[in-house]
Structure 1
């Protein structure tokens, strides 16, 4: 196990080929889990950007729901911001800010249907082997239609990081 979140746990997995992946296993004991899983699958299947965590595949049946994701060996930004054992120099910090900004710009303006992440926080910014930032965890998201009305979810987010205006629209 490499992490846990409100809707389940994340494990490091190695395929026979030697490829390392992250496996996000959803806790089906929670009522909101089904909606979170459906939301994340809905959002991620149509998104493709260098600064978003890639979904390899999904696994689902009545007793088990999981997403197989690209593995990020340097963990989350949270580890680097709130630990005395890790350090980011000014170049790394700037690179991370630019990468997250590029991901958000893509979500808001580069998709057919704009996506609002709704839970942007340091633990949802993951770092690959080159310290490039990738935005993750779309279990709490809003998909906006052409009329800018809500099309999808309003599940639980992290206090202090949730979008404060639930009627948020993507406008320039």
Structure 2
């Protein structure tokens, strides 16, 4: 499907067709060259924020580290779906939350938005064989927490992971 920008008025018209029982979702997606997930996302944003929810964002939204961790933990607890979590925490999309979850699950630290590169991109340093064995043992004793191990030994995440 091609990437087309739709105005607020066009989005409202498409949502009106979506609500109309005479038009199937397949008809609408074919007619407007749009993914059904996009229509559902517009519907969710419209229900939350009215017509303002259909306006494209002018700038990036900022999120605190605490909010990111809370949202990820609530989703991973299994009590809430992706959509419920993004509604609860006013996160812009499921894709944003998905990136945080992926980062969290790969033992990388979540930061406040706009803080630049992650801590896992630190400079490497030479280590001896004995030190590498010590690092591996420490990492295994701490449930393979590579980020914690890298920080504790002053090496990069990649050195610990390899």
Could you tell me the TM-score, scaled by structure 1's length?
0.23
Instruction: Tell me which protein shows more strand as a share of its residues.
Output: 1
Could you tell me the TM-score, scaled by structure 2's length?
0.24
Q: Which has the bigger relative contact order, CA under 8 A and spacing at least 6? A: 1
Q: Rg larger in 1 or in 2?
A: 2
Instruction: Tell me which protein shows more helix as a share of its residues.
Output: 2
